[in-house]
Amino acid sequence: MTVVKMPIALTCTFLWIGFVCAISFMEAWLKFRAPGITVPLGLGIGRLVFNALNKVELVFALVIIINIFWNTTEILKWQNLAFAIPLTLLFIQTFWLLPALDARAELHIQGQIVPPSNLHFYYVGLELVKVASLTIFGITLFKNTTI
């Protein structure tokens, strides 16, 4: 039988994966293919959507952290340490990468010439690692037991 020790953390983990996959891997590039969407308009929409996604991710992270502390006496279990990877990546995105991308988008929206950058590749790379590590963390929340 499979038992879920922390169902709230499990739910938040897989919802988080769904949000990231839907927005970062689908919406982000599809919006620019919609009729009538200019690059500045698409960037403006992207700024709003990714700002909202970041806030949702922070809420999911907080709920998972609270759930871990509430339900375990062994905080330093490898399962919980696996959550440190997406949490660290989220902080990197929140405090460095998203503000840098937002500033570039604002310059582009204002019509200024923006030099080439690899920031988007970094963002996509971090998203891939975040989804993989969240998936591993989510799977570890299931525990096989025999009754």
- Whole-prediction pTM: 0.91
127-144 pLDDT, tens digit each:
999 999 999 999 988 875
Check whether 86 has a pLDDT greater than 70. Answer: yes
Residue 72 CB burial class (10 angstroms; 0-12, 13-18, ≥19): middle
pLDDT over 80 (residue 78): no
Q: Where are the domains of the chain?
A: 2-144
Q: Tell me the pLDDT band of 3, cut-offs 50, 70 and 90.
A: confident
Alpha helices per DSSP H over 5-118: 7-22, 28-30, 39-71, 78-82, 84-92, 98-109
List pLDDT tens digits, range 37-69: 999 999 999 999 999 999 999 999 999 999 988
* Amino acid of residue 18: G
DSSP H or E segment with residue 3:
strand 2-4
Which tokens in the block code for residue 1?
């039988």
Per residue in 94-118, pLDDT (tens digit) is 999 999 999 999 999 999 999 999 9
* pLDDT above 70 for 147: no
